[in-house]
Amino acid sequence: MRLLNENGEQVGIVPLSEALSQAENKNLDLVLINAKSNPLVCKIMDYGKFKFDSIKREKELKKNQNISELKEIQLSMTIDKHDLETKAKHGNRFLLEGDKLKVVLRMKGRQNAFSKMGLEVMQEFFTLIENNGNIEKQAQIYGKSIIMIIVPKKQ
């Protein structure tokens, strides 16, 4: 097997018994690095410390990852001004947390005939949250719904 010492330097090709004795003399573990190569590659290291460091590194990577979710806010054509401001406050909070925002306005019954009014409601909603977000997808009519997607502004 090909043996690497605790510093990562190559010792050479040695038999298994000699590699085990070297690891035992240094009070370290013999760890198989690559089982598919010919000859096998092993390293002398403290396996407990290696495992601890790798878990710590994974936690750090997860902590630094910025996972953005798609949050949805539903509006209606007949929404009152104060209710719209409340929904905008929730939308601002979502955007500040780094999440995308999907704004959906569902039209019922004869409201489909007045879809321009729905687009105005969507525009009014965006003016309330434009300090924290940019439009990724403009408000468009899809059947009985009007959908707009807003992304947070870069800090």
We report the CATH number of the domain holding residue 48 as 3.10.20.80
- At 30-87, the pLDDT tens digits run 888 888 888 889 999 988 988 999 999 999 888 877 677 899 999 999 999 999 999 9
What CATH code is carried by the domain that includes residue 147? 3.30.110.10
Q: How many domains does the chain have?
A: 2
Q: Say if residue 7's pLDDT is above 90.
A: no
Mark whether 75 and 137 lie in a shared domain. yes
Domain range enclosing 30: 2-64
pLDDT confidence of residue 151: 93
Alpha-carbon distance 122 to 76, whole Å?
10
* 143 vs 154, higher pLDDT: 143
- Residue 19 · residue 43 · CB < 8 Å: no
- At 19-31, the pLDDT tens digits run 899 889 888 888 8
pLDDT confidence of residue 155: 66
Alpha-carbon distance 18 to 1, whole Å?
10
- Mean pLDDT, residues 4-25 taken together: 88
- Mean pLDDT, residues 12-22 taken together: 89
Final residue of a structural domain among 14, 46, 64: 64
- At 79-133, the pLDDT tens digits run 999 999 999 999 999 999 889 999 999 999 888 888 889 999 999 999 999 899 9
Final residue of a structural domain among 30, 47, 64: 64
DSSP H or E run through 2: strand 2-4
Alpha-carbon distance 105 to 40, whole Å?
62
* Residues facing 71 on adjacent strands: 101
Q: Euclidean distance between the first and final Cα of the chain, in Å? A: 52
pLDDT confidence of residue 36: 83
